[in-house]
Structures are given as C-alpha cells and as structure tokens.
C-alpha cells in the first residue's frame, strides 16, 4: 500500500483540541496525520507536529486541496501556503478534496496542477477523494493510474461501496476509508456489539478491523487519549469469516456526507 494503513484524522477539530489530539496520537505511536485546507487546522496540526519532536522523515502528512484552489494558477500557491502552516517543506500526500463537478475548473486542469505540485517536490504523492468510478477514470486519463496513490472515500459497515472499491482495487489504487464509524452510529450497533463482545474488543475496534481486513487504510479521530490508544489495537484484531459476513449484512447505503455541488453522482 502506498499510504500507511492507520492514521489519525483531524476533521472538525481546531485550536487546542486538535493540537492535543495530534500530539497525543504521536505520543502513542501514530505516524500518519490527515488534514485538509478546509478544516482550518493546518497551522494547529503543524504546531502539534513541531512540538512532538518526532523526526519529519518518520511522519506521513496528508492534506487536501479545497475547491476554491483548483485552478492551475491557484493550486500550487495554495499548497505552498499549506506547507507554511504545517511547518514542512513537503507533504507526503495531497488529495483533491471533492470532484466538485460544475465549479468551473475542468478535472483535467486540476489533476495536471496537482501533478505539477508533485513535480515541484511540494508533495511526494498525489491522489483523489470522494471520486466515483467515472471521475476516477477521468483522473486516470489525466495523470495515469500509477500517479494516483489513493481515493479517500466515506466507508463504513453501513456504506460499503463494493462496486467502487472493487474498481479501485482493479486499478491498483489504494482505498482510504473515512467516517468508518459512521459519525458514531456504528458504536451503538447491536451486531457490532456482539462481535466486539466475542473478541473482547470495543465496537470501534471491530469497525476499524473490518476496514483494515478489507485492505483499506483508516484515519479515525478522537479527542480522548483512551480512544486514540484503543483504536490502534484494531490493527491486532482478526475478525473471522462469520464476523465479516455479518458485517456485510449491515450495508444500507448509509451515506453521512453528500454535499450538494461538491459530491459526484455516486455509484
């Protein structure tokens, strides 16, 4: 996999809250951190990383370009600004945050600008986020599938997107799962609770282990040290075939994030 299988997310966390979360995660052994321009927390994340004392070459930092910066003249300068906030000379992965069809910038233009950012050494890898099959095909046509490290998409036991994930696997593009706990809804699920009890695990660990066993990277977030530490243990949890089959039955196209004007027509 071209991206780490386990990282810490920072969506909806700002100020001292995100500084504490990232710093704690790094203390616990996390080495991948996911942020985005629109989160408004890149400077806070940069501060947490700087204060952590973890060498830069041990870290994997991901950020995402916001739709306002998709134009060829805007993308690279916006990424340079992100690097200043993050206090680093480069990020390890830069994603197009949403395909935003109809926002006035052609997909081929912003993918070319993203590839230029890589050529300039501002980012080690590039990728996409929230792209459906057709738009992923267009991104591949623009820069080549070997250039697309991952498609970061919403995935949970309630939204398994088998068609899209199968296509990405076929293309050799890694899948990064966000919202793996479905905004916390998964934590109250009786089926997941039964599986958790069986393995003497937490429900969060079960959901994360499900995604990991399907070959996805995960980026759960938490403000609690206990939960950040507990989530890491999902890497050691092995669900059996019966567990995986039961989770498969939870599919209900339960999408939590679908912003109008930004999201594609989903597969």
Q: Which positions are annotated as active-site residues?
A: 39
| 3 Rama class: left (phi>0) / alpha (psi -120 to 50) / beta | beta
Q: In what order do the strands lie in the sheet with 60-65?
A: 8-9, 32-34, 60-65, 91-96, 123-129, 148-154, 174-178, 217-218
Helix (H, G, I), strand (E, B) or coil at 155: coil
CB 41 within 8 A of CB 19: no
DSSP H helical segments within the chain, as ranges? 15-28, 42-52, 72-86, 107-119, 133-143, 162-171, 190-199, 203-213, 225-232, 241-248
Sequence length of the chain is 267
Residue 234, Cα to own-chain centre: how many angstroms?
17
CB 250 within 8 A of CB 189: yes
* Helix or strand run (H / E) with residue 143: helix 133-143
CB 219 within 8 A of CB 178: yes
CA distance 208 to 141: 32
- The phi and psi torsions of 77 (rounded to 5 degrees) equal -60, -35
Structure tokens at 43: 């400077």
CA distance 13 to 108: 32
């Amino acid at each position: 996999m071209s991206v780490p299988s386990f990282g810490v997310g920072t969506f909806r966390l700002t100020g001292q809250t995100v500084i504490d979360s990232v710093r704690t995660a790094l203390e616990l052994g996390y080495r991948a951190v996911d942020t985005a321009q629109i989160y408004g927390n890149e400077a806070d994340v940069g501060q947490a990383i700087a204060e952590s004392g973890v060498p830069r070459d041990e870290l994997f930092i991901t950020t995402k370009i916001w739709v306002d910066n998709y134009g060829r003249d805007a993308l690279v300068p916006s990424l340079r600004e992100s690097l200043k906030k993050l206090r680093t000379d480069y990020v390890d992965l830069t994603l197009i945050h949403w395909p935003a069809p109809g926002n006035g910038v052609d997909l081929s233009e912003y993918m070319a600008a993203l590839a230029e950012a890589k050529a300039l050494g501002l980012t080690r890898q590039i990728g996409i986020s929230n792209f459906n099959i057709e738009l992923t095909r267009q991104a591949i046509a623009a820069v080549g599938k070997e250039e697309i490290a991952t498609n970061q998409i919403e995935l949970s036991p309630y939204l398994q997107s088998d068609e899209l994930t199968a296509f990405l696997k076929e293309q050799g593009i890694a899948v990064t799962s966000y919202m793996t706990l479905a905004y916390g809804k998964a934590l109250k699920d009786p089926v997941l609770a039964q599986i958790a009890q069986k393995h003497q695990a937490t429900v969060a660990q079960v959901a994360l282990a499900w995604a990991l066993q399907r070959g996805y990277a995960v980026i759960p977030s938490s403000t609690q040290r206990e939960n950040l530490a507990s989530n890491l243990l999902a890497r050691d949890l092995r669900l059996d075939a019966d567990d995986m089959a039961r989770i498969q039955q939870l599919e209900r196209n339960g999408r939590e994030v679908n912003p109008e004007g930004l999201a594609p027509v989903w597969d």
